[in-house]
Amino acid sequence: MYNVLEKFRALEAARTGETLEGPEKQIWQDGQIGRLKELHDEIDAAVAAAYGWPADLSEEDILSRLVALNRERALEEAAGRVRWLRPEYQNPAGGEVAATTKDADLSGEAAQSAALPDWPKSLPERIAAVRAALEEMGEASARQIAARYRGTGEKGVTPLLESLAALGQAEILEDGRYAA
């Protein structure tokens, strides 16, 4: 069923006018693949909305955003901020997580930080880096962009995003994030 669904999506994306034929067409009809596609499209749209992302992102863009979000969360956890999925179960006492060097090493924060590129030295290079990151991510906060570099934080990125917005090269969204 999923092979037929993927072939249908490929034909749809190619826009050649080709359609499913033979056994694939029969599987499409018998397996109600059209309904399966609708359900997956609804799930994809709901997930994109939950992340605050456009619904039409490519798989590559989604992966890039998830990697950046994962990096941001790892840095937060290394600093002691944990976003509990089920706090009533995972942290019933509601206590804070203490950040320690041991915790940071175990979380891989040091290794991740070493893998990050350095924050550029010159202002033009910084502006170019922020602009490129924003274009790659589509929408992002200053914190999310800062998490992509070693040696800067939200305070170093925010004025650059504001400048890009003033120049019409970025848009400030209602939630305080920026769009390319």
Q: For residue 43, give the 3-state DSSP assignment.
A: helix
* Domain coverage including residue 145: 59-179
Structure tokens at 83: 């976003």
> Is residue 106 predicted with pLDDT exceeding 70?
no
Mutual orientation of helices 123-137 and 59-78 as an angle, nearest 10°?
A: 120
Q: What is the DSSP string of 68-103?
A: HHHHHHHHHHHTT----SSHHHH-TT-PPPPP-HHH
Please give the mean pLDDT across all residues of the chain.
Answer: 85
pLDDT of amino acid 107 = 46
What's the whole-model pTM score? 0.47
The residue written with tokens 């041991």 in the block is 102
69 with 38, same domain: the answer is no
Regarding whether 109 and 164 lie in a shared domain, the answer is: yes
Q: How many domains does the chain contain in total?
A: 2
pLDDT digits (tens, 9 = 90+) for 48-75: 999 888 888 888 889 988 998 898 888 8
- Same domain? For 67 and 152 the reply is yes
Q: Are residues 166 and 143 in the same domain?
A: yes
User: Can you spell out the DSSP letters for 115-129?
Assistant: HSPBPPSSHHHHHHH
C-alpha–C-alpha distance, residues 126 and 122, integer Å: 6
